[in-house]
Structure 1
Amino acid sequence: MEKLFKLSAHKTNVRTEVLAGVTTFLTMAYILIVNPLMLADAGMDFGAVFTATALSAAIATLVMAFLANLPFALAPGMGLNAFFAYTVVLTMGYSWQQALTAVFIEGIIFILLTAFNIREAIVNSIPVNMKKAISVGIGLFIAFIGLQNAGIIVDGATLVELGDITHGAALVAMIGLVVTSVLVAFKVRGALLLGIVATTIVGIPFGVTSWAGGSFLPPSLAPTFLAFSFADIFSIDMIVIVFTFLFVDMFDTVGTLIGCATKAEILEKDGTIPKCKEALFADAIGTTVGAMLGTSTVTTYVESSAGVSEGGKTGLTSLTVAVLFLVSLFLSPLFISIPGAATAPTLILVGLFMISPVKDIDFEEATEAIPAFLTILLMVTSYSIANGIMYGALSWILLKLFTKKAKEISPTMVIIAVLLLLKLLLG
């Protein structure tokens, strides 16, 4: 393990890395159920998508572990699966086979863009203050997701409002938040993981946690494997679909990599991410293979920050996640039984850990402060990491131009601006 992952050089050990991996996995295990449910709405086979989800996540995360040696996990992305099912298939009228083909094309394009260092250049060109703001925005975003998963925050007359926290999942999550917070305050090793286990147990008498049951054998991939349809791939609609997949995945991954790398304190002195190109290959390969197996776009998961907060710093953390995804193929009833209320406290506290870079953002210089603020604000209020980066980057470029500081804008940032404007125009 030392030779493979250089643990001592990263000031970590096997126990810490494995624990971090287990924590990350448990906070993102919901995708094993949510993704098949969403794609089933598009007409896909639930069991086949479950297997495709676990396998694509394992393969992509293994690439991250061994090629990049970074503690980040990957799986089919939330938001991207919703776009796949509810926009491309149910609204635009394309078959799910055509949607899978668009994802496959996206994956191939990503592999090419990564091979020619284009995606790496985009990551490295983002200003330092914005990188810090991305970490803060992701922290608030993931905490917000935790609150929603538990029903503590719900839809309401004022867009969002406080849910009924006196019973059910919300009450269990609140109890779990207190328990997990106490463990964190006492600096107990594995506090987040222990909090998930404890909250799951607390949920039993409340009827929130229940045994899901079902078969322990992995469902067949046959209904979705290589189920491509290349009809209409040169239509304007299909070009827009592929571009949308590209855009959202690119900036979600960029944001997650920057945010988690900042929290893990592994950024280089110049603000670049070590092994960035290799990390970007992981989601490109994952997306391509995932489409072949039968699932939507694979991306780096913001929940990786849970493992980073537990001390994960190397690929051993992501290797642990990958192994657990493979094991999950045979333990689906167990993972289905972990309620959202049990992982909500961890997501909320990870949000706290992620916002620490806010103190290092330059709020005195308006051309830096305003884009940073918009990045954070839009990431949460628009429910999208990509949107936060988009409006933050555009405002940064415009402010630099109008305040006669254009020399600070790199050619790569100009290209990013063009891509962002295209996204706004195309919707």
Structure 2
Amino acid sequence: MLERIFKLKENHTTVRTEILAGITTFMTMAYILTVNPGILAAAGMDQGAVFTATAIASAIGCICVAFMANYPFALAPGMGLNAYFAYTVVLNMGYSWQTALTAVFVEGIIFILMSAVNIREAIFNAIPLNLKSAVSVGIGLFIAFIGLQNANIVVGGATLIELFSVEGYNQANGVSAAFNNVGITVLLAVIGVIITAILVIKDIKGNILWGILITWILGMICQVSGIYVPNMELGFYSLFPDFSNGLSIPSLAPVFFKFDFSNILSLNFVVVVFSFLFVDVFDTLGTLIGVSAKAGMLDENGRLPRIKGALMADAVATTAGAVLGTTTVSTYVESATGVSEGGRTGLTSLTTAVLFILSLFLSPIFLAIPSFATAPALIIVGFYMLTNVVNIDFNDYSEAIPCFICIAAMPFFYSISEGIAMGIISYTVINLCTGKVKEKKISPLMYVLTLLFLLKYILL
């Protein structure tokens, strides 16, 4: 049955490979189950309810992409968008979280309409092939940078970012951490990178997943031996699962279907909806481009077959997520970890979905996975995606320079969507000014996107 549904042989994969890829993807993005409730709690939402909403919305998104598109992509409430929801829309602009949740719901409905009439697919197909490779490379650097940050290998400093030191970490964060909490986790993350790299070089099956587990186990050994000392006030928790509260599932009631349409006609509400819409459209497109390019899923014209299903899954999951009580659901860059493990079909996504459902019952186990254990996986996946740089034509500067701008913008601006915006604007303007428009056969939609991006920077 699995062969008939997911066409495993056609995609040169096996059930074992797909399940392993799904587990790996989940392990690298399980942090959202901890982070998302914490961020939305700052907006006044019930943390337990948001945890449940996050797990269910993620499962819905993964199931949708598995059966609508048969791709190994995983979906969950997007990082960045949840922070924008809580800190900008609610705490800064003064809207209630119910109103902000309504904006996410409206955005989801608009997404469904855009996906139904192929607007998002047209945008994907309009982006030139070299630029698509650049998006993949940029996401690789972005993922690696996130991994370095999550592990505190790089911290804020006088040069904006600098190599970790206990003193630098304390100064950047205004805390008094010590080697036996922050320092040892940084060392463990570095050891984890080396272990994962060795496993990759030795071509050990499940190398990234094994890297996560081994690093986590080393951390637990350090805690037992007293080398690592938890400090909850500083955010360094026990590395062992905590079953003291049992296995009960927090109720959805405090956040389920809590909409407020009273401000829906205001200009600010429209701006909020547009902001959610813009970031999600191009974050999702960027992730689809990057992950599918790395997996060799793009055809000879740089198009992704069945992309309509993948985009519709994202739209449906966002709408369902808003109803459940969480922020915009989008395709996750961590999907690249599963692809790197050999995931090629929707069975990978379905496996991830099952684990999100199981996390409701076994949340203490999944929530105990520390960021320093998943950081090596992100860094190594960043390397995998960086290899797409060889597909960029560096002999043609009118192609290469916009690609470089796109690549550099993603980690430096800390945004996939901003990197795409910079890449599209520079590609169009440079080729227009150098008289290469006819030669390149630039799509009219590229001009429209360039104008929209420029207006965004001017007006917003």
Q: Same fold (TM over 0.5)?
A: yes
2:282 to 242, 251, 263: 251
> Aligned letter for 1:57?
S
Report what 1:375 is aligned to: 406
* In 1: Cα distance, 2:60 partner to 2:160 partner: 39
* In 2: Cα distance, 1:52 partner to 1:419 partner: 33
Report what 1:179 is aligned to: 195
Quote how far apart the aligned CAs of 1:423 are.
Answer: 1.9
1:275 to 303, 306, 318: 306
Residues 132-180 of structure 1 deviation map (CA, whole Å, 9 limit, x = unaligned)? 0000000111011011111101111110011138732101111111111
3-state SS in 2 of match to 1:203: helix
Report what 1:314 is aligned to: 345
Report what 2:433 is aligned to: 402
Alignment of 1:42-121 (within 5 A): 42-121=43-122
Aligned: 1:196 with 2:212? yes
Quote how far apart the aligned CAs of 1:216 are.
Answer: 1.4
3-state SS in 1 of match to 2:248: coil
- The answer (yes or no) to whether the contact 1:60–1:285 under 8 Å persists in 2 is yes
Aligned: 1:223 with 2:224? no
3-state SS in 2 of match to 1:329: helix
Report what 2:236 is aligned to: none
Report what 2:453 is aligned to: 420
Instruction: Mark the runs of 5 or more structure 1 residues left unpaired by the alignment.
Output: none
- The answer (yes or no) to whether the contact 1:54–1:326 under 8 Å persists in 2 is yes
3-state SS in 1 of match to 2:222: coil
* In 2: Cα distance, 1:129 partner to 1:153 partner: 30
- The answer (yes or no) to whether the contact 1:247–1:423 under 8 Å persists in 2 is no
* In 2: Cα distance, 1:52 partner to 1:296 partner: 9
3-state SS in 2 of match to 1:75: strand
- The answer (yes or no) to whether the contact 1:128–1:271 under 8 Å persists in 2 is yes
Aligned: 1:353 with 2:381? no
Instruction: Mark the runs of 5 or more structure 2 residues left unpaired by the alignment.
Output: 167-178, 229-238
Residues 323-351 of structure 1 deviation map (CA, whole Å, 9 limit, x = unaligned)? 10011011111111110000011110000
- The answer (yes or no) to whether the contact 1:151–1:164 under 8 Å persists in 2 is no
| Alignment: residue pair count | 427
> Please, which moves more after superposition, 123-132 or 403-412?
403-412
Residues 282-305 of structure 1 deviation map (CA, whole Å, 9 limit, x = unaligned)? 110010000000000000000000
Q: TM-score, normalized by length of structure 2?
A: 0.91
> Please, which moves more after superposition, 180-189 or 18-27?
180-189
* In 2: Cα distance, 1:44 partner to 1:275 partner: 36
Q: Percent identity?
A: 59
What's the C-alpha RMSD, in Å, of the aligned pairs? 1.1
Residues 365-402 of structure 1 deviation map (CA, whole Å, 9 limit, x = unaligned)? 12111110010000010000000000110000101111
3-state SS in 1 of match to 2:247: coil
3-state SS in 2 of match to 1:206: helix
Report what 2:26 is aligned to: 25
Higher alpha-carbon Rg: 2
* In 2: Cα distance, 1:393 partner to 1:293 partner: 35
3-state SS in 1 of match to 2:55: helix
* In 1: Cα distance, 2:375 partner to 2:63 partner: 26
Residues 181-201 of structure 1 deviation map (CA, whole Å, 9 limit, x = unaligned)? 111111000011111111110
Report what 1:241 is aligned to: 272
> Aligned letter for 1:416?
L
Quote how far apart the aligned CAs of 1:426 are.
Answer: 3.1
